[in-house]
Amino acid sequence: MQKVTLTINGVPQHVLATPEMVLLDLLREDLHLTGTKQSCDRKGQCGACTVLVNGKATLSCITKVTKLEGAEVITIEGLGTPINPHMIQEAFVLSGAVQCGFCIPGMIMATKGLLEKNRNPDDEAIKKALARNLCRCTGYTKIIDAVKLAGQFVRKETTPEEVRGKLDPTKMLGVSHVRPTSMIKACGVAKFGGDIYPKGALEIAVVRSTEFHANIKSIDTSAAEKMPGVAGIVRAADIKGTNRLRQVHPDQPVLCDDRVKILGDAIVIVAAETKEQADAAAKAVKVVYEPLPYVMEPEDALKPGAPVLHAHAPDNICARQPIIKGDAEKALAEAKYVVEANFTTQTNHQAPLEPESCVCWWEGEGEKEELVVAGRSINIHFHLNQLKEALGLQNMRYVEPFSGGQFGIKTWITSEAIAAAAAIHFHRPVRYIPSLEESILICNKRHAYHIYTKLCADNEGYITAMFCDWLMNKGAYTLNGPVLLGRSIMMLSGSYHIPNLKVLGRSVYTNNAYTGSARGAGPPQTTFSTEVAVEMLAEKMGIDPLEFRRKNSLKAGQTKATGMPVSEWSFVEVCDAIKPAYDRAVKSAQEWNAKNPGPVKRGVGIAAHSFGVGGAGDSAKLTIEVNPDDTFTLYAAIADPGEGNDAMIAQIMAHALGVPLEKIRLYLRDSDKTVLMGPAAGSRMTFMAGNAVLLAVEELKKAAAEAGGMTYEALTKAGKPTRYEGLQKNEGPAGLDKATGQGKAQVTECHNIQMAEVEVNSETGVTRVNKMTVCVDGGTVINRHAFEGQLEGGMDQGVGYALREEYTLGKEKDYVQFKFPTIRDSFEVETIIVETPRKIGPLGATGVGEMTMVSTAPAVINAIHNAVGAWVLDLPATPARVKAALAAKK
């Protein structure tokens, strides 16, 4: 041990440090300065732990405390507070750079270090200074904007007050009002799961399968139970409920009892007084396996004699869904132009920056005692019911702390089930904060698809038919696989009128990574194949790709793939709005290529999609209340892991009530005070929650008219309630015909076209995206910063999906191996917004959180083809695959 004296946020600290102790652990574990975040397993890869040491931006997770004698350390808590924020914190908030907020303290401290040296940094200087700081939400565009605005503040060219003064407080639509939680996130005050430390909490570790498929012959925990600090072991037999999690089929064990079906399956829980003790004891548990045959690809799982994963699916098919619309065989026979190809998309990790976390504690006494589960669900009531069923305890409450992004990853609750099982067994508070490596291993991933597509057109340039056959790699467990298969089917025809379709989609169990929701949730894979096939067909016919898409747009009264007619369809307007930018980009690339005869070529590619919003038969419920001080509280189970749902719902509510935002209070994400809202997924929250708020306000206004006022006093004097419910119920019923795939799908849509401008080196195969342009019609824009942030973040993830990101079970264990996009990979973004108010949307709005993820990859692949003439049909388009495609072309 070494005695070290240093100053932290102006306070002298005297520390006895071991040689291994890093500054991050001193800050978080000893001083509970939790604004400094831990994400990358202390490898110096993410920048979330950035602090200032003697004025220099420093990664605290790799900085030894023994090296800090006499140092002056400033953390995010020492920079400013929500009441008295630093101008850099103000800049990040006012620029819309704060989404989930997990990375923001590190970003701000890195910016502070930069501006101490360079008060007027250009883009390159900003990217260099923030190159170690990762963000999954923003795409870095608004991060760069925030640093530039902070520079203006530092140089006294403007002030936060002047910027805020430009926001019209009386206007709620299209205005970038500050998100309600942005400032507490920017000041490091917001508590994420790993920031919660209940008194007397046990720390837990999980013994996980080291086999892909095996019978469990024995589990020996005797040595682990004798180790220092160990409170005990939880086995499958200790769980009082079904010990199964389900969304469709109850087929995933909380703890495996006799068989494991995937690398990383949970077997036993070890609980101890410290995380180090729990981890050490978990390593002492001995599991003996009988290995079984396993399959990793769906084609192999369908072969005779393949190992069967579940008794309910002896053929290993999780779900199947065809589409039979019109007469595709006849259309093919008559078609003048036909293209066909095989496509593959990869398993993809959603990669939120906050690793998995769940903290549980007990509240109340006797019959009123309940277990509080603080997890990261996007659908708290649905998941709470799953936990009650699996664990056999009814007195449970679910609360959601702030969540560091999720992008579909938290439609599943394995971590919550593990933590709650331990809390129930030991009847003590529990913290389960797995490492990044474990988090990556255990969370659900985006499905890999194998797709055959054939697309046909007539002499006039109209698409006449589509054939499609695809296999989804479901992995070992069902989760919401049938739902995602249905979503792929529902949005298969995208923006186009395709009168004849013959499609078969199958989801197949394997021993690979279990898969579920990921941003886009179904359409990204099939839109990739469809949009590349559309590009091939346009090229074969000699028609401009944009004009071909415009020509084949659906029109009001025509039907989507599922036979559902559309009543309004503004895709043509989107095509027209992007055309000037498209023409400029094509001309620029052609001129550049003519002047540069070397191996680097530029290309332009487009892709389109019409993303369905608000499922048929879907519902959402919430409550508003008039308070004694005449403010208004919204009680709603609305998750907001970064999308801006809090700003959206507050602005819709304020607009409907005709009051300033200061009058709106939000009480979200607590199962005791809210009712079933449904998931913050599928871009549904603006449409569903927004409409529910309007319905609740309508009921309040009716009562207020009878009471002679909307004040608390007027309502109570008139004997009127002060609480009003809003229930949005979409026209239904939902569901597709099992034989034909015809039926009702989503009730409205958002439309977009994305354009990628790329450079491709034909010698190395390296592709660089220089610019992405998105033209979108999502109806009325509520909060412009939030709207743009979703578009920009989706494109950044889409480029990663297109060019570099790929998950192999058990291989990618950190951000470097995953090839997480950094600010140096960021690109110029242009956003073109078409606002066509939707007749059934709240104030005309829909939702745009996912559609740019859907269209980016095909736009990039089409741009690569435009640059070098080769088709890359397997994602991601790595340099090796680009070179192989070029070689095949020759």
Residue 77 pLDDT: 98
Domain 80-190: CATH superfamily is [2Fe-2S]-binding domain (1.10.150.120)
Q: Give me the pLDDT at residue 395, please.
A: 98
CB-CB neighbours of 84 under 10 Å? 8
Q: What is the pLDDT of residue 732?
A: 82
Label residue 734 by pLDDT band (50, 70, 90).
confident
Residue 546 to residue 753: CA distance in whole angstroms: 9
User: For residue 740, what pLDDT band results from cuts at 50, 70 and 90?
Assistant: very high
Query: Is the model's pLDDT at 263 over the cut of 90?
Result: yes
850 annotated active-site: yes
pLDDT digits (tens, 9 = 90+) for 690-714: 999 999 999 999 999 999 999 999 9
What the block records as the tokens of 200 is 């007397």
The string of pLDDT tens digits covering residues 752-788 is 999 999 999 999 999 999 999 999 999 999 999 999 9
Give SS3 for 21: coil
Q: What percent of the chain has pLDDT over 70?
A: 100
Predicted pLDDT of residue 412:
87
Q: Is pLDDT of 733 > 80?
A: no
pLDDT digit string (tens) for 103-149? Answer: 999 999 999 999 999 999 999 999 999 999 999 999 999 999 999 99
Specify the pLDDT at position 516.
Answer: 94
| Statement: 448-614+737-889 belongs to CATH 3.30.365.10 | yes
Lowest-confidence region among 171-175, 578-582, 602-606, 676-680: 676-680
Indicate where the chain has its CATH 3.10.20.30 domain(s): 2-78
Rounded distance between C-alpha atoms, residue 380 and residue 388, angstroms? 12
pLDDT band at 319 (very low <50, low <70, confident <90, very high): very high
Residue 339 pLDDT: 98
Q: At residue 510, what is the residue type?
A: T
CATH of 202-292+351-442, one of 1.10.472.50, 1.10.10.10, 3.10.580.10, 3.90.1170.50: 3.90.1170.50
Q: Could you tell me if 316 and 257 are in contact, meaning their C-beta atoms sit under 8 angstroms apart?
A: no
Q: What is the pLDDT of residue 13?
A: 97
Neighbouring C-alpha atoms within 13 Å toward the C-beta of 99: 30
Instruction: Say what the pLDDT of residue 889 is.
Output: 84
Q: Hey, what are 484's tokens?
A: 């995602």
- pLDDT tops 90 at residue 806: yes
Length of the chain: 890
Average pLDDT of 464-482? 97
The segment(s) of the chain belonging to CATH 3.90.1170.50 are 202-292+351-442
Q: Report pLDDT for 881.
A: 98
Closest CA to 820 of 439, 118, 480, 352: 352
Note the pLDDT tens digit of each residue in 644-654: 999 999 999 99
Is there a contact between 415 and 432 (Cβ–Cβ < 8 Å)?
yes
The tens digit of pLDDT for each residue in 151-207 reads 999 999 999 999 999 999 999 999 999 999 999 999 999 999 999 999 999 999 999
The edge-to-edge listing of strands for the beta sheet with 828-833 is 600-615, 746-761, 767-777, 828-833
Amino acid (one-letter) located at 598: G
User: Is pLDDT at 300 greater than 90 in this prediction?
Assistant: yes
Give pLDDT tens digits for 497-530: 999 999 999 999 999 999 999 999 999 999 999 9
The answer to whether residues 703 and 721 touch, using CB atoms and an 8 Å cutoff, is yes
Q: Where in the chain is the domain with CATH 3.30.365.10?
A: 448-614+737-889, 619-729
Q: Please report, to the nearest 10 degrees, the dihedral formed by the alpha carbons of residues 319, 325, 328, 331 taken in order.
A: -160
Query: Considering the chain, what is the average pLDDT of its residues?
Result: 97
Catalytic residue among 77, 535, 792, 850: 850
Q: Which amino acid is at 188?
A: G
> How far from 414 is each of 364, 394, 552, 572, CA to CA, in Å?
26, 18, 44, 44
With cut-offs at 50, 70 and 90, classify the pLDDT of residue 397: very high
Report residue 411's pLDDT band, with 50, 70 and 90 as the boundaries.
Answer: confident
pLDDT tens column, 357-395: 999 999 999 999 999 999 999 999 999 999 999 999 999
- The CATH number assigned to the domain with range 2-78 reads 3.10.20.30
Predicted confidence band of residue 735 (pLDDT cuts 50, 70, 90): confident
According to the model, what pLDDT value does residue 699 have?
98
Q: What is the mean pLDDT of residues 23-46?
A: 97
C-alpha of 649 from chain center: 19
Give the residue from 830, 834, 849 showing the smallest Cα distance to 755: 830
- What is the CATH topology of the domain spanning 619-729? Aldehyde Oxidoreductase; domain 4 (3.30.365)
Residues in CB range of 328: below 8 A, 6 or more apart: 465, 466, 467, 500, 501, 502
Predicted pLDDT of residue 890:
76
Task: State both tokens at 521.
Answer: 């949730």
Buried/exposed code over 258-289 (b: 16+ C-beta within 10 A; e: otherwise) = ebbbbbbbbbbbbbbeebebbebbbebbebeb
Which residues of the chain are in CATH 1.10.150.120 domains?
80-190
Instruction: State pLDDT tens for residues 228-257.
Output: 999 999 999 999 999 999 989 999 999 999
C-beta of residue 733 within 8 angstroms of C-beta of residue 744 = yes
pLDDT band at 745 (very low <50, low <70, confident <90, very high): confident
Burial class (CB in 10 A: 0-12, 13-18, 19+), 226: exposed
The radius of gyration computed from the CA coordinates of the chain, to the nearest angstrom, equals 27
pLDDT band of residue 613 (cuts 50, 70, 90) is very high
Identify which of 650, 677, 649 has the alpha carbon closest to the alpha carbon of residue 663: 650
The reported pLDDT for the residue numbered 170 is: 94
What separation, in Å, do the N-terminal and C-terminal C-alpha atoms of the chain show? Answer: 66
Q: 422 with 282: CB under 8 angstroms?
A: no
Q: With contact defined as beta carbons under 8 Å apart, do 359 and 419 qualify?
A: yes
